[in-house]
Every structure is written in structure tokens, then in C-alpha cells.
């Protein structure tokens, strides 16, 4: 008589009925680590699901009988409670993890970053805001402007020199009371610093309010007329950058100098990069208003002599029907002229809108790629 093996999983090819979770974390922690999920009604700090510490950055949880759980095992890691839930590498809420228990009995996960007391950043890593002047003189335009430096949190504790990023629309970068929201740039920099990433000095240049459009429009025939862009970018290159390099511990070389912005601020940043490629080698371009001058590349490419440059382009399909196609056309035209001298990263968000919060979300990705990836 043949033996019935249906109740003996080891004879059906199953090595074990256990579920094993292995976890690696981005840095040591003194806090306990747990999982919560659809198996315990998402209860935090459930001691039945506390991971065992194997080393400073390695943990393990073994569940002896996975047959008690539903086929789709959904979970998240957290420290102590939900105020310490896992985040992704860019400090954003991590998606729920899902295991198909019919296909997997052992998984290795990685958590790069944790929420700290309900915040995605640690306050001790916030940059030091330094108002250079409320009325910094712009001789090219016969105007003044507020200029602010966001210095890395350890700037006054070390003698290090830092790369520099010049950003437009300073009012919208880290002011919690900005009327249209802000990038939360200070908090994003703190989150990045907590990852032990090398610091960056950010120079925030306030826009000209009612004269913003005129200053950010290139100085040739555009759909908005002839703007003051040439004078403005000359101010950035010839006046502001020398001042910053003289008064702060910067890495002044072009390979450590970037410029960027969003919307019209992105347009003028492209213009600055094309006008002064010997000054700026990294362009952070979020949702540029390319409709103002669709053929900007033709205006420059006849005499532009490309140098090594990185350009991070971001756009959301939720902004307009033309945003993403315009970005793709610009990238293609630039690459055809500049060949391999220019390295592009094109980031497209299918639902991305035209707003400060979305640009702030993109900022860590852009900075990491522009300044640190492959360097």
C-alpha cells in the first residue's frame, strides 16, 4: 500500500514551514526593531514580532509556522512605535512590503532611514541659515536682493570645503510661511546629512517679486519679449559667485558648482549654464518654462563649446500636456550638439504637479545624482 504523504510537507519538497526575515539597516541603532502588518492588525511594538539583533546593522526574525498567515504577507519595519517607521533612501514614506508565502520562505530587506520622533529628519542635522544681506547689490540691474546661505550643519565645526549650489526663488525654498508652500529645503538637507552624505552649501537668491518674470527671461526675442536675463546671470557669475568663494569655504571649481531652480527659475538656470559653462557644470532643472523660448538650444548651439556637464531634468505629466514632451525635445537637441560631454538624468512623474512640495521631494534625488553619484 502506498504511503499518504499529503500531511508531510518535508516529503513534498518543502524544506521548512518557517518564514525568515533578514534585515540590514543603514546605520546602528539602540532602539528595538519590529514588524507590523496585516497579520497583527498593524499593531506597533508587538513583542511577538521583535527582530533579533545579529550585529550592529543586521537583524533577523524567524516565524516558525507561516501557515498561520494569509498568502500575501504585508508588513513594515519600525523602531519602538510608528513615530520611528521605516523611510526610503530619500526620506519618504516607504511602501508596504508584501511577500507571497506560496513563493518565498526567506527574504532579505534593507532599511536605509527611519523616521525620528515622527519626523523624517533629525533636527541636529539642520543646516545653518546665514543671511548674507537683506540688500545685496546687483550692479548689473541697479537693484538689491536678499541672499541667504544654507551652510551644512557641521560647517562651523570643521575646516572642510564644500560644493555650492545656487538656487533661484529663495523665498520658496525653506520658508514655512511662503504663500505657495516651500521645498522644505532645510529639512531635506538635514535628512541627507543624517545619511552621512557630504554637505553642500546652498545659496538661495530671492526673486524680484513683480520683476521676477523680466529677470528670468533670456535677453533675446522670446514669447515674453526681451528680458533682463543676461544681466541677471552675469550678476550670478561675475558678482555673487566671487563673493561667495571669498567669504565661505567653497570648492570654487566649476566641477563643484551648480545652479538650479523651478519653472521660470529653471529656465534662467539653463540660460546661465549655457552662457557660463566655464562657471557652472551642474544644472538642477525642475519643470522649466521652456514654452517661453522653445528654441533656446538653437540660440546657443551654433557657438556653444560644450564642457563636461551634468543636467538633472524633472517634469510631471500632471503639470501640462507640453511639459514632458518639451523636456524630451530639449534633452535630445542638447545631446545631439553636446554629444557625450553632457550627462543627462531625466526624471518623469506621471502624476507630478507644478508646485513647491513636489520640487522639494525631487531635490534629494537631484543633489545625489548631480554632486555625488560616480564622483
DSSP per-residue codes, 142-202: TEEEEEEEEE-TTGGG----B-EEEES-GGGTS-TT-TT----HHHHHHHHHHTTPPP-EE
Three-state secondary structure call for residue 295:
coil
Tell me which residue of 20, 104, 110 sits closest to 60, measured CA to CA. 20
Q: What's the pLDDT band for 339 if we cut at 50, 70, 90?
A: low
Query: Cα angle at 107 between 103 and 109, to 5 degrees?
Result: 140
For residue range 200-215, list pLDDT tens digits in order.
Answer: 999 999 999 999 999 9
- pLDDT for the residue numbered 304: 53
Average pLDDT value for residue range 129-138: 97
- pLDDT for the residue numbered 195: 75
- pLDDT for the residue numbered 299: 63
Average pLDDT value for residue range 348-361: 95
- Tracing cell 529677470 back to the chain, one arrives at 215
Residue 341 clears pLDDT 90, i.e. is over it: no
Residue 14 clears pLDDT 90, i.e. is over it: no
Tell me which residue of 113, 117, 56, 106 sits closest to 82, measured CA to CA. 117
C-alpha cell at 150: 544654507
C-alpha cell at 280: 557652472
Q: What is the mean pLDDT of the chain?
A: 90
Q: How far apart are CA 375 and CA 359, in angstroms?
A: 24
Residue 32 clears pLDDT 90, i.e. is over it: yes
Average pLDDT value for residue range 134-159: 97
Q: What's the pLDDT band for 16 if we cut at 50, 70, 90?
A: low
Would you say how long the chain is, in residues?
Answer: 375
- pLDDT for the residue numbered 300: 60
pTM over 0.85: yes
Q: What's the pLDDT band for 334 if we cut at 50, 70, 90?
A: confident
C-alpha cell at 242: 566671487
Q: What's the pLDDT band for 303 if we cut at 50, 70, 90?
A: very low
- pLDDT for the residue numbered 306: 58
Sign of CA dihedral 218, 221, 227, 231: positive
Strand partners for 129? 150
If phi over 0 gives left and psi between -120 and 50 gives alpha, with beta otherwise, what is residue 287?
left
Residue 26 clears pLDDT 70, i.e. is over it: yes
Q: How far apart are CA 121 and CA 195, in angstroms?
A: 10
Buried b (16+ CB within 10 A) or exposed e, 101-121: eeeebeeebebbbbbbeeebb
- Please, are residues 224 and 213 in contact by the beta-carbon 8 Å criterion? yes
Q: Name the residue with higher pLDDT: 322 or 336.
A: 322
C-alpha cell at 292: 517661453
Q: How far apart are CA 243 and CA 247, in angstroms?
A: 6
- Map out the domains of the chain with their CATH numbers: 9-114 (2.60.40), 123-372 (3.40.50.1820)
Tell me which residue of 164, 135, 181, 194 sits closest to 284, measured CA to CA. 164
- pLDDT for the residue numbered 338: 65
Q: Measured in Å, how far apart are the chain's first and last C-alpha atoms?
A: 70
Sign of CA dihedral 89, 201, 264, 234: negative
Q: Name the residue with higher pLDDT: 197 or 184.
A: 184
For residue range 305-315, list pLDDT tens digits in order.
Answer: 557 899 999 99
User: Phi, psi (5° rounding) for residue 299?
Assistant: -65, -30
Amino acid at each position: 500500500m502506498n504511503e499518504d504523504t499529503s500531511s508531510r510537507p518535508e516529503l513534498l519538497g518543502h524544506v521548512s514551514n518557517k518564514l525568515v526575515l533578514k534585515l540590514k539597516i543603514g546605520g546602528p541603532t539602540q532602539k528595538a526593531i519590529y514588524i507590523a502588518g496585516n497579520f497583527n492588525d498593524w499593531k506597533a511594538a508587538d513583542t511577538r514580532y521583535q527582530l533579533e539583533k545579529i550585529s550592529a546593522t543586521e537583524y533577523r526574525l524567524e516565524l516558525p509556522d507561516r501557515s498561520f498567515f494569509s498568502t500575501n504577507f504585508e508588513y513594515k519595519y519600525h523602531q519602538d512605535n510608528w513615530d520611528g517607521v521605516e523611510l526610503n533612501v530619500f526620506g519618504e514614506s516607504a511602501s508596504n512590503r508584501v511577500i507571497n508565502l506560496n513563493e518565498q520562505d526567506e527574504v532579505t530587506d534593507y532599511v536605509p532611514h527611519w523616521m525620528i520622533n515622527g519626523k523624517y529628519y533629525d533636527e541636529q542635522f539642520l543646516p545653518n541659515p546665514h543671511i548674507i544681506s537683506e540688500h545685496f547689490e546687483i550692479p548689473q540691474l541697479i537693484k538689491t536682493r536678499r541672499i541667504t546661505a544654507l551652510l551644512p550643519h557641521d560647517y562651523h565645526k570643521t575646516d572642510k570645503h564644500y560644493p555650492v549650489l545656487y538656487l533661484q526663488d529663495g523665498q520658496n525654498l525653506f520658508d514655512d510661511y511662503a504663500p505657495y508652500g516651500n521645498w522644505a529645503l532645510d529639512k531635506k538637507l538635514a535628512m541627507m546629512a543624517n545619511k552621512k552624505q557630504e554637505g553642500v552649501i546652498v545659496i538661495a537668491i530671492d526673486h524680484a517679486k513683480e520683476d521676477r518674470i523680466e529677470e528670468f527671461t533670456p535677453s533675446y526675442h522670446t514669447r515674453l519679449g526681451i528680458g533682463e536675463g543676461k544681466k541677471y546671470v552675469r550678476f550670478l557669475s561675475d558678482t555673487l559667485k566671487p563673493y561667495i568663494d571669498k567669504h565661505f569655504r567653497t570648492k570654487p571649481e566649476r566641477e563643484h558648482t551648480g545652479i538650479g531652480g523651478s519653472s521660470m527659475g529653471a529656465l534662467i538656470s539653463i540660460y546661465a549654464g549655457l552662457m557660463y559653462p566655464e562657471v557652472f557644470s551642474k544644472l538642477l532643472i525642475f519643470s522649466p518654462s521652456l514654452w517661453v523660448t522653445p528654441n533656446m538650444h538653437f540660440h546657443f548651439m551654433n557657438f556653444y563649446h560644450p564642457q563636461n556637464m551634468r543636467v538633472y531634468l524633472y517634469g510631471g505629466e500632471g503639470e501640462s500636456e507640453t511639459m514632458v514632451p518639451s523636456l524630451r525635445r530639449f534633452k535630445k537637441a542638447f545631446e545631439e550638439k553636446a554629444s557625450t560631454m553632457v550627462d543627462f538624468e531625466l526624471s518623469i512623474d506621471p502624476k507630478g504637479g507644478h508646485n513647491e512640495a513636489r520640487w522639494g521631494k525631487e531635490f534629494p534625488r537631484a543633489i545625489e545624482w548631480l554632486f555625488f553619484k560616480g564622483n
